[in-house]
A and B are shown apart, each in its own frame.
Chain A
Amino acid sequence: MTEECELFECGHRACGGCGPALAARLILKATGENTIVVASTGCMEVFSTPYPETAWKVPWIHSLFENAAAVASGIEASLKKQERDEHVVCICGDGATFDIGMLCISGAFERGHDITYICYDNEAYMNTGIQRSGATPYDADTTTSPAGKCSTGNPRPKKDLPAILAAHGATYVATASIAYPNDLIKKVQRAVSTHGPNYIQVHAPCATGWGFDGSQTIAVGRLAIETGLWVNYEMMNGEVERVRKVAHRKPVDDYLSVQKRFRHLYRPGRNEDEIAKIQAIADANAKKFGIDLNVVKEE
């Protein structure tokens, strides 16, 4: 990307190779400066706004861990009353979104506020030390879903939040990944130019929490797509419109084996049963969204 004025400044305190920090930068490139950002408590809030410093060159507000959607509702109502036209954009972690903030999100989406809610999904509570969330994938090792003698890690699959919010009547719902920046930018642009409520879930690999080298963030993000464990798609008024296809879907091992959070699946030997279950998740995704370009149609 060319050097240009960034609305999310460098000099913040994220770990090297932080996927969420990249997400913030790309999101603001797309929204432009006529934007008010509403944040939740979490890594991004902490690494970007240690008083008296801030990385945000757009108006930004943080209140609590779980109320961004409600705060955004109030901002939107206030702007409407003042006939102002800033985009109201929530940028919140998966814990804030999938778990503790669900009440406020459900209310805001049901009421139909013109807001865009973006979840930067690093698949656990990173700020408090890598605890599981409703977005943590099956079998991931976190500090509250530890792998052990009688545990293979997180016992539940990821919650399908895009479907839940589409069912609320969200206008535009999309998934994206920091590994595909142009696609992410286009989706955010589409969201802020569409009357909301809109939801975008951005896959944002976390080097520290997932256990990979900070130079590999994009590569890990790509592998999630290439294995079918993450699918990039768009929905308009509840209908899936566009899906990112995959030419030669890779086995899930390619994604799992490069992250420490899945290391237990390969020690002492490859855990055939568990990896087969994860492969089945990828296969189900592929089938549901029709991502495979090279499938032989069975008749």
Chain B
Amino acid sequence: MMEILEGSHAVAEAVRLCRPQVVAAYPITPQTHIVEALASMVADCKLDAEYICVESEFSALSACLGASAAGSRVYSATTSQGLALMFEVCFNVAGMRQPIVMTIANRALGAPLNIWNDQQDSISLRDAGWLQFYAEDNQEATDLHFIAYRVAEDHRVLLPVMVCFDGFILTHTYEPVDIPSQEAIDAFLPPYKPVNILDAKNPMSLGMYATPDYYMEFRYEIDQAQKRAKEVFAEVGAEFAKQFGRDYSGLVEGYRLEDADMAFIAMGSICGTVREAIDEMRAEGKKVGLLKIRSFRPFPSEEIRAALSGVSKVAVLDKNISLGQKGAVALEVRDALYGSEIDVKGYILALGGRDVRQADIKAIAGLLEKGEGDQFFGLRTEVL
């Protein structure tokens, strides 16, 4: 049913429809509205879950790990400092192959303290073994949760997923969102069938320690599962499209790329701004397009190569920076396009919530044309 909902509430509705049995989360701006909504649903018997009111994000994800290992579908949500506090547990959850789904309401990391949006938090955990999906709008944020559980729990994958959507820009914005019915989601997402669980009738040791004789193989297996997740994502996305009419089967999604000479690459809500700027530039006769990255992990290198085969210049918009190096997305795109003639330039922008408008996107197109890039964009030089 179409409803006008705040992004956080749309996501909370999606989570409810996924029927998690255990929810453990700790409040942090701008994620709070999600966990408050879920707490209300539990209080009103609209969500039949154990809601563990933990004392920290570190315990939130640890409790999720325990509940998942005992055989339950679990859910958490966090952002920024909370995600940073979970760092150690994140690696553990992936290493123990627990298909936990966690929403990230993307926010900057301190210092300085900043509650506004960029994507430094989840990007900084790109190596943890989690799948990472980024939503452009609240409909996509909603739908990616259904897909996330399906992909995570698929026995070919068995990895946790972060569904990332931009803090405030999406979490606190009201948009019309189609919330599927419970019957429809039940048909799409069957109950969780775990593989190895803690069960006194079939005792098993989980989380043992591995010597150099075994450790590498565990890491290899996770990497393989990440790679298998690509086809599972495409499969599940196609199934979702068939049932719900919205297609997320691509790890990447192109916009007006067909005859494009220049392309933008971006993740998350900024893609909406880029689309509009592209329409304006197209009207001015510029052959520009957009390639949106929906799945940052697994990273869609082949898909990016295929999608950009016709372009000669690429501008990568990074809402993060590996300080002392470049933006994470630009680095990986450059790796994906290695050996091609395509000129890839990175632009660090929108950190800590700095606004980006269509005019900015057009200005970046101008820089790219001149061959200027690999730089911060939109700095207030007067305060430096």
Q: What residues on B are CB-neighbors of A99 within 8 Å?
A: none
Provide a sorted-by-A list of 11 A–B residue pairs whose CB atoms are within 8 angstroms. Answer: A56-B205, A57-B203, A61-B198, A61-B205, A62-B207, A70-B58, A74-B52, A75-B69, A80-B50, A82-B71, A86-B200
- B59:A59 contact, CB within 8 angstroms: no
Q: What residues on B are CB-neighbors of A76 within 8 Å?
A: 66
- B55:A74 contact, CB within 8 angstroms: no
Contact flag A71-B63 (CB < 8 Å), given A63-B96, A111-B52:
yes
Known: A36-B198, A62-B206, A64-B92. 20 other contacts (CB 8 A): A35-B200, A49-B209, A58-B203, A60-B198, A61-B198, A63-B62, A63-B92, A64-B62, A64-B88, A70-B54, A70-B62, A74-B22, A74-B63, A74-B68, A74-B74, A75-B198, A81-B22, A84-B70, A86-B200, A110-B55
Q: What residues on B are CB-neighbors of A84 within 8 Å?
A: 70
Say yes or no: is A77 at the interface (Cβ < 8 Å to chain B).
yes
Q: What residues on B are CB-neighbors of A45 within 8 Å?
A: 209
Say yes or no: is A269 at the interface (Cβ < 8 Å to chain B).
no
Q: What residues on A are CB-neighbors of B164 within 8 Å?
A: none
A101-109, A136-144, A157-165: which one contacts chain B? A101-109
A59, A64, A74, A108: residue with the most chain B Cβ atoms closer than 10 Å? A74
Q: What residues on B are CB-neighbors of A58 within 8 Å?
A: 200, 203
Closest to B197 in A: A59
Cα–Cα distance between A79 and B70 once the two chains are bound (Å): 7
Q: What residues on A are CB-neighbors of B205 within 8 Å?
A: 49, 54, 56, 59-62
Q: What residues on B are CB-neighbors of A39 within 8 Å?
A: 207
B261 to chain A, nearest CB (A): 51
Interface size class of chain B, counting residues whose CB lies under 8 Å from the partner chain = 35 or more
- B59:A104 contact, CB within 8 angstroms: yes
Cα–Cα distance between A159 and B209 once the two chains are bound (Å): 30
Say yes or no: is A67 at the interface (Cβ < 8 Å to chain B).
yes
B197 to chain A, nearest CB (A): 8
- A61:B206 contact, CB within 8 angstroms: yes
B50, B60, B71, B208: residue with the most chain A Cβ atoms closer than 10 Å? B208
Say yes or no: is A52 at the interface (Cβ < 8 Å to chain B).
yes
How would residues 183 to 223 of chain B score, 1 for a CB under 8 Å from any chain A CB and 0 otherwise? 00000000000000011101111111111001000000000
Q: What residues on B are CB-neighbors of A60 within 8 Å?
A: 198, 203-206
Q: What residues on B are CB-neighbors of A52 within 8 Å?
A: 208, 214
Say yes or no: is A34 at the interface (Cβ < 8 Å to chain B).
yes
How would residues 135 to 172 of chain A score, 1 for a CB under 8 Å from any chain B CB and 0 otherwise? 00000000000000000000000000000000000000
List which A93-121 residues lie within 8 A (CB) of chain B.
103-104, 106-108, 110-111
Q: What residues on A are CB-neighbors of B72 within 8 Å?
A: 77-78, 81-82
Closest to B51 in A: A77
- A78:B207 contact, CB within 8 angstroms: no
- Partner pick for A77 among B58, B62, B67, B208, CB 8 A cutoff: B67
Contact flag A34-B63 (CB < 8 Å), given A51-B210, A107-B56:
no
- B89:A50 contact, CB within 8 angstroms: no
Q: What residues on B are CB-neighbors of A51 within 8 Å?
A: 208-211, 214
Cα–Cα distance between A80 and B205 once the two chains are bound (Å): 21
Q: What residues on A are CB-neighbors of B60 within 8 Å?
A: 70
Closest to B70 in A: A78
A61, A62, A79: residue with the most chain B Cβ atoms closer than 10 Å? A61
- A107:B203 contact, CB within 8 angstroms: no
B27 to chain A, nearest CB (A): 14
B19 to chain A, nearest CB (A): 11
Cα–Cα distance between A67 and B206 once the two chains are bound (Å): 15
- B203:A63 contact, CB within 8 angstroms: no
B130 to chain A, nearest CB (A): 16
Cα–Cα distance between A57 and B200 once the two chains are bound (Å): 9
Contact flag A67-B210 (CB < 8 Å), given A59-B203, A74-B67:
no
- B206:A36 contact, CB within 8 angstroms: no
Cα–Cα distance between A35 and B203 once the two chains are bound (Å): 9
Say yes or no: is B24 at the interface (Cβ < 8 Å to chain A).
yes
Cα–Cα distance between A84 and B63 once the two chains are bound (Å): 17
Cα–Cα distance between A74 and B197 once the two chains are bound (Å): 13
List which B36-71 residues lie within 8 A (CB) of chain A.
49-50, 52-56, 58-60, 62-71
Say yes or no: is B21 at the interface (Cβ < 8 Å to chain A).
yes
Q: What residues on B are CB-neighbors of A104 within 8 Å?
A: 55-56, 58-59, 62
Cα–Cα distance between A71 and B203 once the two chains are bound (Å): 17
- A78:B56 contact, CB within 8 angstroms: no
